[in-house]
Structure 1
């Protein structure tokens, strides 16, 4: 009878085990090189965007102000998960302490939600620029832009704090295996042995509210943008109007498609490994591609980087 007893520690788990993307030893060097390369590209690409915006006075506009904030958040999203995974692969250890896991949950939720809000704010900026161009400088004044970013931060911090405090109320085994490459909220809730009904309800409510509302805002903004573009008589005018929001639309599509892909793939397969693999798209791939999307299609960014590195237009 004694052999069947399992010892649990409430809010004092000694360690979690991150199983990662694969347990095959021969794949570890490849995964390490791949994710190290992607991480370095993400950091350098987004830093270049931030440097370009800060160094060129011509880019001190609402659109590029939001873009610099988005690049900073993309760096934070990737830095929350990838470095620990690289350390685990390199040291061949899968351990993450309870405190580190909770910290990772907090910051990951914070930056993903903030990323979502910033994309919505950028959609609103494009809506005002195209649908109300004469009032653009009045509406999107520096004070209002700063307020939008501040509110996004406040809501994201409060949501992340709530979700983390809810996780702290759960009880786990002394050694828990997480079939993921980082401490993902839903995985932790599923692995808890205590009642998770309240956690599930809070997670569902905040996902609908903080995920659905921004998505609805993006869809509404672009429906108005498309309507306004269709009303432009000249083909050149239509192209110019569309080009101002093409990069943002690409980033928004990439973010929501990968996020929804993670949700539907995990729901359909019920496989934790499939969910972990799909999560790579919006936690690593999307932040890496964003700088390329904005810089390759944006002449202003190219010119700003050229001036920054060469000292001439």
Structure 2
């Protein structure tokens, strides 16, 4: 038996040895690849929509919202009409598209809300943007552009509007309240974010396999160096003062934070730490839910929580 245990231990050590050796050999590449990933994260390859509003039985029209005061650059929106007095503007997670938010859109539209789902720049069918600095302001401008567009339409001019962010889009959805004087909203819903600290988010995103990383760069010394470089540069590219101050619209805008207690990318503790700063924030932690998985893991609780919050905050 002792001989068998020794043989098993030797067998287990060999893969670890070769993995560590490969990681050490790849060390010179790790910081370069980490820098590449920091750009790649904000400029991912476009993915085709895996479903459309029609696939979920939703009526919709395609809308183009101009960026930067007009021109050819713009955001692509699916507008699903409902009550013109209650509108929800919805984003999506990093590297995804608005098609990833259709389950929540159907939930809201069936409850009577008008829903405007949009692709952030560099995602879906929205325009590209090669910039690598000021990404926070750019993504925030995306949210603001759609809200302003909805308010510019006669049908929705007097609507009460909520913004609904997912994962990375929760950060600009919160940051936009700095401009509430020019672009007011009545409530904000956050699914799987945001959190108090930024750099752990990016390290966790890599660790969870959210970005393409070759095997030797995933673990060991190369993995640690890549993670540090990527998280530092990806945070720097945001050029953001975080967290937002507790003043102005941050004091009087109702906020709903939905977090999963099994979220490895943006853990519930970080979400709660941020939400506790704001007086009208509510936090709901969904049992057994991973990142962006609450609507699947706890569908009834998720629906009751979101619809209850919007009924209270978007009522006339």
**TM-score band w.r.t. shorter chain:** under 0.3
Name whichever structure is richer in strand by fraction. Answer: 2
**What is the TM-score when the length of structure 1 is the normalising length?**
0.25
Name whichever structure is richer in helix by fraction. Answer: 1
**What is the TM-score when the length of structure 2 is the normalising length?**
0.25
Larger relative contact order (CA 8 Å, sep ≥ 6)? 1
